């Protein structure tokens, strides 16, 4: 058994995972309409490269990434682009977003694929990373960070350890567990591709001990040669063991300090679903157009895991799982700890949709109105980031955004452990999210203000420079005029002097002539 380390805080939660693991993963039929947001990831949105009326094929690029932190979007089935417009998406704030709407033709016809199954080890790592980027792959276990960036460490960084995250610590969610049970070989194929991309020396796959079938499946899929470089590590079941920093601490004993990234310690961490997507992109040439989604909760008539195409309306998945509308209190995208309520069930499945959780009134009867903080300290005891949630709460509530950052607000992973144990039922994470949002807004306003100030100062500088240049030009003109006038004056003086000399000469000649005349008459 490989040694594992402990991390601070965390909770032992009821899993409710068996509910959705009673049948194999099934593929949801192609919907009549696909709604594909151009931003399904952290970073800048992609830019549409199709127009209304265009016919597209399955896997065809429909929105290109134009900035470094971005990811392209591909059609998840063949059909006709019928709209590019604002549509409702699954978001905590119920926002609208630009979406490309495709009316499917039922043919599900693929675009020609460029596979590298036999030669990927001969490809340069940078070429592999570009292929991952072109496939539109983002992290499938978290916030959707573009995967090619994490596969692109700085030239000076040597990657020692590549970690695959199979912990899946959120209650109810089982998409990764089922993926490991049913497609273990695909996970390992993708892992080996990623290992080649980062040139890692060893690979670790962390799986919680409440998933024995997944652990067995991965171990059985490993070849003897692969076992020399890949370790499957069983870790204790504790939330949030699947968070990146906590998983790294558990598997390696390395604790990342504030502002440190895993790459600073020679570590890269990816989700098992991301590994499958990378493997399919390189070995089969397929872009990311579908993912496994858990459909679960006590309001579901048929809890299950399905492979759903990106862009499928969520309502179609809820219907597929036989949602009991009369018993449903709310539908949550994600788990009960870090998920958020879906306000519009026609919102599309996106690359980060790992679970749709339908809960009943009985599931939320424990909710109570917030009461004053009693300073019990339970929130600090369970915080895996070793923060002081109580202090963060006070500063967030008083909108003291300078002070709250001194207490490392942005180290908060919003796991919800503090909320779960708070006897006063204070929605602490909501306060932290509010504070983060306000700080980001202030920073954006400051950037705009600084930009406006710089433009104003530049304008003032330009006007001052223009004024100085005008004054210098006028001064030079005056000097030239003076010089010209001086030259004219000198010229006039010379002319007058010449005239005077001529007149003097004439006068002298005249006087000489007169004198000669007088002399002649005297004689």
What pTM was computed for the model? 0.84
Q: Model confidence at 521, in pLDDT bands (50, 70, 90)?
A: low
In terms of domains, do 296 and 392 share one? no
Q: Residue 122: give its domain's CATH number.
A: 3.40.50.11540
The alpha-helical segments, DSSP class H, found in 102-211 are 125-134, 147-150, 175-182, 184-198
pLDDT value at residue 523? 56
In terms of domains, do 300 and 406 share one? no
In terms of domains, do 301 and 376 share one? no
Average pLDDT on 445-474 reads: 88
Average pLDDT on 225-244 reads: 95
pLDDT surpasses 90 at 329: no
Give the integer Cα–Cα distance in Å for 113 and 135: 11
Give the integer Cα–Cα distance in Å for 119 and 391: 55
Give the integer Cα–Cα distance in Å for 160 and 327: 50
In terms of domains, do 269 and 152 share one? yes
Q: Model confidence at 2, in pLDDT bands (50, 70, 90)?
A: confident
For residue 239, being part of any structural domain is answered with yes
* H or E, element range at 523: none
pLDDT value at residue 486? 79
pLDDT value at residue 140? 93
In terms of domains, do 81 and 113 share one? yes
Q: Which residues pair with 97 in a beta bridge?
A: 87
Whether 43 contacts 352, CB under 8 Å? no
pLDDT surpasses 80 at 488: no
* Residue partners of 309: CB distance under 8 A and separation at least 6: 28, 30, 31, 34, 76, 77, 289, 290, 349
Average pLDDT on 325-339 reads: 89
> Domain boundary at 326, 359, 392, which?
359
* H or E, element range at 88: strand 79-88
In terms of domains, do 372 and 341 share one? no
Return the minimum-mean-pLDDT range out of 149-158, 253-262, 457-466.
149-158
In terms of domains, do 345 and 400 share one? no
For residue 134, being part of any structural domain is answered with yes
The pair of three-digit structure tokens given for residue 69, joined into one six-digit string = 């932190």
pLDDT surpasses 60 at 433: yes
Q: Which of 54, 67, 28 minimizes the C-alpha distance to 111?
A: 54
pLDDT surpasses 80 at 384: yes
The pair of three-digit structure tokens given for residue 305, joined into one six-digit string = 């895991």
Give the distance from CA 262 to its chain's centroid: 17
pLDDT value at residue 364? 67
In terms of domains, do 414 and 318 share one? no
In terms of domains, do 426 and 337 share one? no
pLDDT value at residue 221? 96
Whether 40 contacts 144, CB under 8 Å? yes
For residue 5, being part of any structural domain is answered with no
pLDDT value at residue 367? 60
pLDDT surpasses 80 at 467: yes
pLDDT value at residue 328? 85
Q: Model confidence at 9, in pLDDT bands (50, 70, 90)?
A: very high
Count of other CB atoms within 10 angstroms of residue 248: 24
> Domain boundary at 338, 359, 380, which?
359
Largest CA distance in the chain: 160
In terms of domains, do 109 and 201 share one? yes
In terms of domains, do 307 and 289 share one? yes
Average pLDDT on 430-436 reads: 93
Whether 12 contacts 420, CB under 8 Å? no
Q: What is the dihedral of CA 382, 385, 389, 394, to 10 degrees?
A: 180
Segments forming the whole domain that contains residue 434: 368-509
Give the integer Cα–Cα distance in Å for 490 and 492: 5
Q: Which of 389, 356, 16 minimizes the C-alpha distance to 169?
A: 16
Return the minimum-mean-pLDDT range out of 53-57, 200-204, 259-263, 498-502.
498-502
Whether 121 contacts 283, CB under 8 Å? no
pLDDT surpasses 60 at 365: no
For residue 11, being part of any structural domain is answered with no
pLDDT surpasses 90 at 38: yes
Count of other CB atoms within 10 angstroms of residue 319: 13
Q: Model confidence at 495, in pLDDT bands (50, 70, 90)?
A: confident
Q: What is the pLDDT of the chain when averaged over all its residues? A: 91
Return the minimum-mean-pLDDT range out of 39-43, 76-80, 355-359.
39-43
Whether 382 contacts 9, CB under 8 Å? yes
Q: Is the dihedral of CA 242, 245, 249, 252 positive or negative?
A: positive
For residue 6, being part of any structural domain is answered with no
B/e letters for 206-237, b = 16+ CB within 10 Å, e = fewer, are bbbebbeebbebbeebbeeeeeeebebbbbeb
Q: Residue 416: give its domain's CATH number.
A: 1.10.1060
Q: Could you say which DSSP state residue 38 is in?
A: S
Q: Which residues pair with 11 in a beta bridge?
A: 239
How do strand 328-333 and strand 355-360 relate by DSSP bridges?
A: antiparallel
For residue 2, being part of any structural domain is answered with no
Task: Give phi and psi for 95, each to the nearest 5.
Answer: -75, 160
Give the integer Cα–Cα distance in Å for 217 and 515: 143
Cβ-in-10-Å burial (0-12, 13-18, 19+) of 439 comes to middle
What is the number of domains present in the chain? 2
For residue 522, being part of any structural domain is answered with no
Cβ-in-10-Å burial (0-12, 13-18, 19+) of 496 comes to exposed
Task: Give phi and psi for 102, each to the nearest 5.
Answer: -120, 130
In terms of domains, do 343 and 393 share one? no
Average pLDDT on 286-290 reads: 97
Q: Which of 293, 244, 291 minimizes the C-alpha distance to 138?
A: 291
For residue 252, being part of any structural domain is answered with yes
pLDDT surpasses 90 at 385: yes
> Domain boundary at 327, 359, 391, which?
359
Give the integer Cα–Cα distance in Å for 341 and 333: 6
Give the integer Cα–Cα distance in Å for 515 and 513: 5
Give the integer Cα–Cα distance in Å for 276 and 280: 6
């Amino acid at each position: 058994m490989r040694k594992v380390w402990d991390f601070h805080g965390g909770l032992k939660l009821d899993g409710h995972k068996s509910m959705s693991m009673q049948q194999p993963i099934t593929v949801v039929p192609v919907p009549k309409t696909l709604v594909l947001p151009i931003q399904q990831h952290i970073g800048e949105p992609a830019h549409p490269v199709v127009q209304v009326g265009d016919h597209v094929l399955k896997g065809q690029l429909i929105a290109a990434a134009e900035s470094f932190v971005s990811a392209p979007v591909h059609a998840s089935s063949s059909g006709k682009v019928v709209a590019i417009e604002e549509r409702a998406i699954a978001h905590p704030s119920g926002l609208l977003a630009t979406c490309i709407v495709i009316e499917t033709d039922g043919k599900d016809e693929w675009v020609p694929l460029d596979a590298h199954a036999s030669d990927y080890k001969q490809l340069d790592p940078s070429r592999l990373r570009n292929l991952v980027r072109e496939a539109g792959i983002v992290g499938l276990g978290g916030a959707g960070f573009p995967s090619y960036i994490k596969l692109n460490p700085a030239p000076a960084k040597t990657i020692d350890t590549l970690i695959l995250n199979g912990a899946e610590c959120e209650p109810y969610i089982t998409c990764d567990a089922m993926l490991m049970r049913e497609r273990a070989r695909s996970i390992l194929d993708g892992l080996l591709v990623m290992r080649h991309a980062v040139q890692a020396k060893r690979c670790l796959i962390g799986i919680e001990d409440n998933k024995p079938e997944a652990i067995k499946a991965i171990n059985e899929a490993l070849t003897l040669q692969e076992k020399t470089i890949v370790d499957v590590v069983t870790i204790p079941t504790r939330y949030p063991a699947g968070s990146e920093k906590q998983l790294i601490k558990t598997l390696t004993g390395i604790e990342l300090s504030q502002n440190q990234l895993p790459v600073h310690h020679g570590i890269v961490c990816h989700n098992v679903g991301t590994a499958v997507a990378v493997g399919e992109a390189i070995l089969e040439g397929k872009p990311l157009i579908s993912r496994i989604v858990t459909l679960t909760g006590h309001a579901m008539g048929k809890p299950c895991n399905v492979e759903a195409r990106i862009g499928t309306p969520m309502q179609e998945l809820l219907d597929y799982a036989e949602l009991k509308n009369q018993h449903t209190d709310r539908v949550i995208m994600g788990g009960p700890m870090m998920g958020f309520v879906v306000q519009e069930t026609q919102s599309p499945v996106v690359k980060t949709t790992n679970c749709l959780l339908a809960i009943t009134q009985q599931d939320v009867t424990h909710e109570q109105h917030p009461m004053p903080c009693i300073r019990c300290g339970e929130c600090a005891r369970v915080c895996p980031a070793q923060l002081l949630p109580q202090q963060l709460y006070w500063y967030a509530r008083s909108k003291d955004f300078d002070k709250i950052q001194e207490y490392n607000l942005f180290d908060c992973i919003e796991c919800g452990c503090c909320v779960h144990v708070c006897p006063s039922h204070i929605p602490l994470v909501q306060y932290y999210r509010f504070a983060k949002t306000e700080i980001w807004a202030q920073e954006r306003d400051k950037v705009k203000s600084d930009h406006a100030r710089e433009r104003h100062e530049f304008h003032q500088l330009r006007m001052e420079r223009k004024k100085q240049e005008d004054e210098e030009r006028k001064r030079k003109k005056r000097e030239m005029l003076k010089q010209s006038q001086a030259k004219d004056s000198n010229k006039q003086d010379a002319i007058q002097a010449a005239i005077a000399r001529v007149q003097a000469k004439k006068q002298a000649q005249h006087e000489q002539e007169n004198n000669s005349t007088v002399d002649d008459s005297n004689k």
